[in-house]
């Protein structure tokens, strides 16, 4: 019998069976010789984010080594997507999960975690700091639970090195765009950004794309992104060619721009990547730019609502794009 396309017998094969996640040309912001191609990681089914990949790798590794067993309990410090992926896979694999959230984690994240049956502890930490991570690690040790620790667990990095990076390379190659001029990715744990940069650097050498790392401006908060001062593990080894600091306003504006031009409701870290693309494309010049969109915007509706209500001029800097209408086929760099 012929295999039915996209029909799955269990949730795990649903996740892996949807790889590679889509790559799409963002036509309205591809102009003046620069082409923007976005990898849509929100096509992962559990957290609607790129975090499904490393969470699966971390849990599978812990089960294989006997660190985690069926019926076991694990704790994690998370601001959202990792926790949602862990709660989902805990249900699938017969595990129990407790999520520790920073003080200002989106309310939607807490609700989703509770729907999934996770125990939720909202802490007083302003953000996920080394102190918070160590606190969760200590509570897990005290309670006989497991802490997978996404911030130092090499399965995080390897999931993206073995899958996300190779997918992106093959997809770009299929449309004659690999290696691109630059890869623009946000830095959180730095797992996906550093892994993709490593793959392309090792494969293409002197022709490797520039690795543009996107981080939040000092004293500003963008869900999923962390300043380099927090010393994300892998980006300290796979050093960026360029670092772009993005403010919350520009991240929101970038996400709204994508929604109003390409019809995709992306998250704030994706909006920050768009803002970084707009900031560097004139300096780096014509060519193909690969943008990594980690998640969708559904968890951040309260943030979008606040900005849209209080800042009606939010998209003023993109007025020329919004006024231009649908792009013509010849507006990209070579297609």
What is residue 141's three-state secondary structure?
Answer: helix
Q: What percent of the chain has pLDDT over 90?
A: 89
| pLDDT tens figures, 111-151 | 999 999 999 999 999 888 899 999 999 999 999 999 999 99
Candidate from 98-107, 178-187, 201-210, 247-256 with smallest mean pLDDT? 98-107
What does the pLDDT read at residue 144?
Answer: 97
Instruction: Report d(CA 300, CA 65) in Å as an integer.
Output: 36
Average pLDDT over residues 329-333: 43
Q: Exposure string (b/e) for 111-148, b if CB count within 10 Å is 16 or more?
A: ebbeebebebeeeebebbeeebbeebbebbeeeebbbb
Average pLDDT over residues 52-70: 97
Q: How buried is 316 (Cβ within 10 angstroms: 0-12 exposed, 13-18 middle, 19+ buried)?
A: exposed
Mean pLDDT over all residues of the chain?
94
The band of 333, judged by pLDDT with boundaries at 50, 70 and 90, is very low
Q: Is the pLDDT of residue 324 over 90?
A: no
Q: Is the pLDDT of residue 80 over 90?
A: yes
DSSP characters over 38-92: EEEGGGSTTTSBTTHHHHHHHHHHHHHTTSS-TT-EEEEE-SSHHHHHHHHHHHH
Average pLDDT over residues 63-88: 97
Average pLDDT over residues 58-87: 97
Do 248 and 220 touch, CB atoms closer than 8 A?
A: yes
| pLDDT tens figures, 263-318 | 999 999 999 999 999 999 999 999 999 999 999 999 999 999 999 999 999 999 99
Average pLDDT over residues 310-329: 80
Q: Is the pLDDT of residue 89 over 80?
A: yes
Closest by Cα among 300, 277, 278 to 213:
277
What does the pLDDT read at residue 190?
Answer: 97
Q: Is the pLDDT of residue 67 over 50?
A: yes
Task: Catalogue all structural domains in the chain, each as residue range(s) with its CATH number.
Answer: 11-45+160-312 (3.40.50.1100), 52-147 (3.40.50.1100)
What does the pLDDT read at residue 5?
Answer: 85
| pLDDT tens figures, 90-101 | 999 999 999 999
Q: Is the pLDDT of residue 329 over 60?
A: no
Q: Is the pLDDT of residue 241 over 50?
A: yes
């Amino acid at each position: 019998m012929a295999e039915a396309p996209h029909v799955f017998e269990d949730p795990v094969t649903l996740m892996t069976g949807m790889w590679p996640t889509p790559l799409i040309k963002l036509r309205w912001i591809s102009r003046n010789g620069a082409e923007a191609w976005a990898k849509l990681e929100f096509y992962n089914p559990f957290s609607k984010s790129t975090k499904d990949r490393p969470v699966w790798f971390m849990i599978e590794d812990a089960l294989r080594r006997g660190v985690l067993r069926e019926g076991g309990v694990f704790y994690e410090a998370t601001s959202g997507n990792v926790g949602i992926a862990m709660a989902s896979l805990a249900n699938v694999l017969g595990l129990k999960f407790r999520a520790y959230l920073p003080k200002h984690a989106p309310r939607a994240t807490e609700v989703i975690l509770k729907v999934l049956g996770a125990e939720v502890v909202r802490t007083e930490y302003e953000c996920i700091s080394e102190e918070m991570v160590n606190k969760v690690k200590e509570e897990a040790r005290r309670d006989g639970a497991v802490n997978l620790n996404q911030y130092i667990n090499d399965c995080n990095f390897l999931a993206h090195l073995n899958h996300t990076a190779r997918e992106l390379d093959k997809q770009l190659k299929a449309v004659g765009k690999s290696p691109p001029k630059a890869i623009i990715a946000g830095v959180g744990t730095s797992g996906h950004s550093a892994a993709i940069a490593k793959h392309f650097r090792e494969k293409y050498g002197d022709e490797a794309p520039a690795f543009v790392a996107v981080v939040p401006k000092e004293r500003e908060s963008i869900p999923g992104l962390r300043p380099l001062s927090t010393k994300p593990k892998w980006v300290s080894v796979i050093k960026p060619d360029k670092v772009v600091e993005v403010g919350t306003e520009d991240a929101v504006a970038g996400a709204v721009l994508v929604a109003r031009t390409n019809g995709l409701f992306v998250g704030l870290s994706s909006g920050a990547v768009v803002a970084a693309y707009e900031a560097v494309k004139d300096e780096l010049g014509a060519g193909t730019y690969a943008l990594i969109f980690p998640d969708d915007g559904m968890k951040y509706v309260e943030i979008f609502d606040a900005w849209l209500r209080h800042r009606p001029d939010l998209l003023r800097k993109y007025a020329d794009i919004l006024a231009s209408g649908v792009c013509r086929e010849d507006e990209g760099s070579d297609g």
